[in-house]
Homo-oligomer: A and B are copies of this chain.
Amino acid sequence: MGRWEPGAAGRLREAAMALYTERGYDGTTVAEIADRAGVTARTFFRHFADKREVLFAGSEMLEHQMVKALREAPPTATPMEAVVAGVLASAEFFDDIRREYSRRRAAVIASTPELRERELIKMASLTSGLTKALLDRGVDQDVAALAAETGVAVFRVSFERWIAAPDDVPITDVIRSTLKTLAELTA
């Protein structure tokens, strides 16, 4: 994902998403995506390993961003405050420009078991990344694992709410509201 780039990668992503929505993920080939984007298959493979990675190449950047924000939280931050800083950093990805793409991506993933599994793996990787960053801050293993799992739960629920929300609601508002619900639930 990353920033919405105007170059070949951005055009390939738009073309892939349009085709996945029109014909389904299974019914779309790399050649068709390249053709729709006006580039060669060779150019496609310079940017993405395969048609699945068009949808997931950004997940590593998202994880990197969230882990970085957690690491940069002040040393005085509690484990959960540090995790929340990480979760809020997802807003750098999920801005208004990305909302419609995110909606369509979520619909494609929901409709394809292989992609749902891939998304679960990416979320597990995010949990591990956040846990490791907490351990590096000296947080106890059990607390780190729980805080990271909880943070990813908040992120997942917030993301689902955000793509279902009206267009002017920023994801940070949804995350803060989800955190408030969590505090009420667990009080």
Q: Which residues of A90-137 have CB atoms within 8 Å of chain B's CB atoms?
A: 116-117, 120-121, 124
Contact between chains at A142 and B161 (CB < 8 Å): yes
With A117-B120, A157-B142 already in contact, the answer to whether A80 and B185 are too (CB < 8 A) is: yes
Is A63 an interface residue when CB atoms closer than 8 A count as contact? Answer: no
Is A187 an interface residue when CB atoms closer than 8 A count as contact? Answer: yes
Q: How large is the interface on A (under 10, 10 to 19, 20 to 34, 35 or more residues)?
A: 20 to 34
How would residues 134 to 162 of chain A score, 1 for a CB under 8 Å from any chain B CB and 0 otherwise? Answer: 00000000110111011011101100110
Is A169 an interface residue when CB atoms closer than 8 A count as contact? Answer: no
- Name which of A11-19, A20-28, A175-183 contacts chain B: A175-183
- A26 nearest CB across to chain B (Å): 19
Contact between chains at B187 and A160 (CB < 8 Å): no
Q: Which residue in B147, B185, B187 is a CB contact (below 8 Å) of A185?
A: B147
CA distance A187 to B180 in the complex (A): 10
Find chain B residues with CB under 8 A from A86 CB.
Answer: none
How would residues 57 to 100 of chain A score, 1 for a CB under 8 Å from any chain B CB and 0 otherwise? Answer: 00000000000000000000011100000000000000000000
Contact between chains at B80 and A146 (CB < 8 Å): no
Find chain B residues with CB under 8 A from A185 CB.
Answer: 78-80, 143, 146-147, 150
Contact between chains at B186 and A182 (CB < 8 Å): yes
CA distance A154 to B116 in the complex (A): 22
- A133 nearest CB across to chain B (Å): 16
Contact between chains at B117 and A145 (CB < 8 Å): no
CA distance A47 to B139 in the complex (A): 44
13 contacts between A and B (CB under 8 A): A116-B124, A117-B117, A117-B120, A142-B161, A143-B185, A146-B153, A146-B182, A147-B185, A150-B153, A150-B182, A150-B186, A152-B153, A187-B187
